[in-house]
Chains A and B, each alone.
With several copies, the nearest count.
Chain A
């Protein structure tokens, strides 16, 4: 079956949610990923939206993270003070799913500025809930397309901390969250080395070479010894993406 690199990325990212109980759903790609997981292998996955919803069962792909379809039929709709304090800070969220404008080799994420904060070259949207999601969810998954502008040796601004300078740096923060566990891109999947906490490529998507991956990363990246090939999306996953979740192909073409 034919599929796009984006469709593969989305399906691979959704599979990372297997076994998770409660996911904090970010804007954009994470939104389609979490909804795909709930509609395929993880029907009991509870979706939390920072807009103030727990246990959403969206009847359509939510057009934004505050779409009315996430409210109708949800278990609970509440103010944002309760969502952030009683769910996120209380420690009820297993997985936070984030996007990234810039990410560095230790998984630190920048969604604030390119260039200097006071005189930015590009002003990005900012944190939203990402700064707190990054430290309060038990683990973090990141989904973003692989390219040299995004994958930089060091981010211009740490909006959401990953493993900071690597090694034991994050442990010293003394926060609940263990930080980023995987980065799912359109070319490969990267995870973090146990000791250095540096990103390493652990799985190449079908027909993607090491060279192609290296070309799109801003530092000399390491590859896992047991490098895998990412499984292709199933027919069911593609059907769900194409027929239900993204019929106009906004995210997946």
Chain B
């Protein structure tokens, strides 16, 4: 089944006002292309889930599409604070947002429970931390074996997950290498899945390396092909993180006015990711890494 559609189409059809949305990817594979289309379509009241809201949700918060944030680290990694996030939390600008806060392990555990359809997931964290005091979803329970106590968190089951990857076939069978973060868990946890890839490949490429497949087409609703769709984050083997941009964002986002001007130019002012890539072309070319190929392996033909 061919599930390849445009980003515009995918966001219109599968992301609805009021939805719980997870655009995941830990540093790696952050789908800015999808975020920008969600902003352009002026979606409302989204609950946004991500371990690291990062610049991507900072932009979405600034654009006013976010009602609630489910997260574990809201910083600009390697740079400092997320300014739009801070304005929303500290001053309610452009609107106040609710926070549902965990640690990384806690949120990973929520995705694990969500993906496996478990009613909770146990983990050894939070002892001595104040986090359980401000979040009643972090609970302590006694093990049914012995007298050990352990913390548990509830499942997270987004309405839709949007996951960037190196490649998929038209059915949505998706392969990822490098940091795989919680891409697999977020996909299986969600009701609907949009996969965004750098490269569309034939089914035979996927079937030639079944251990590399992280998301099966079985749970994928749409495949969007969007080269450089994760810029300014990166895609292992394809382009580098645009670290200078993460630093620039600190300046751009200090004031709502400069941030909005940036959104006007780079999001509202464009119709598609293709236009963004065209406008950013010179900068993107510089992000190509050298080659470092894996040794090929043999699965063997058994006939």
Question: Is A122 on the interface with B (CB-CB < 8 A)?
Answer: yes
Question: Is A158 on the interface with B (CB-CB < 8 A)?
Answer: yes
B129 near A71 with CB under 8 A, answer: no
B74 near A126 with CB under 8 A, answer: yes
B299 near A52 with CB under 8 A, answer: no
Question: Is B2 on the interface with A (CB-CB < 8 A)?
Answer: no
Question: Is B268 on the interface with A (CB-CB < 8 A)?
Answer: no
Residues from chain B with a CB closer than 8 A to the CB of A196 are: none
B28 near A66 with CB under 8 A, answer: yes
- A174 CB to closest chain B CB, in angstroms? 8
Question: Which of B72, B106, B127, B178 has most A Cβ within 10 Å?
Answer: B127
What's the count of A-B pairs with C-beta under 8 Å? 241
B81 near A57 with CB under 8 A, answer: no
| CB-based nearest A residue for B204 | A73
Known contacts A90-B116, A127-B73, A170-B128: A74-B104 contact under CB 8 Å: no
Question: Is A193 on the interface with B (CB-CB < 8 A)?
Answer: no
Q: Which of B26, B86, B102, B207 contacts A75 (CB 8 A)?
A: B207
- A164 CB to closest chain B CB, in angstroms? 6
A75 near B210 with CB under 8 A, answer: yes
Question: Is B18 on the interface with A (CB-CB < 8 A)?
Answer: no
A67 to B26: give the CA distance in the assembly, Å.
10
| CB-based nearest A residue for B233 | A66
Question: Is B125 on the interface with A (CB-CB < 8 A)?
Answer: yes
A22 near B218 with CB under 8 A, answer: yes
B178 near A77 with CB under 8 A, answer: yes
Question: Is B236 on the interface with A (CB-CB < 8 A)?
Answer: yes
- A60 CB to closest chain B CB, in angstroms? 6
- B73-105: CB near A (< 8 Å → 1, else 0) gives 111011001100110011000000000011111
- A59-79: CB near B (< 8 Å → 1, else 0) gives 110011111110111111111
A68 near B302 with CB under 8 A, answer: yes
| CB-based nearest B residue for A85 | B116
A131 near B126 with CB under 8 A, answer: yes
**19 A–B contact pairs at CB < 8 A?**
A51-B27, A52-B181, A60-B302, A64-B243, A65-B27, A66-B77, A67-B302, A72-B292, A73-B207, A75-B217, A78-B180, A79-B181, A84-B105, A89-B117, A90-B116, A127-B103, A131-B105, A131-B126, A135-B125
Closest 7 CB pairs of A and B: A66-B27, A161-B128, A125-B75, A128-B73, A132-B125, A85-B116, A76-B213
Beyond the given pairs A86-B115, A89-B117, A118-B134, 5 more chain A to chain B contacts, judged by CB atoms under 8 angstroms and listed by A's residue number, are A66-B179, A75-B213, A81-B111, A127-B101, A129-B105
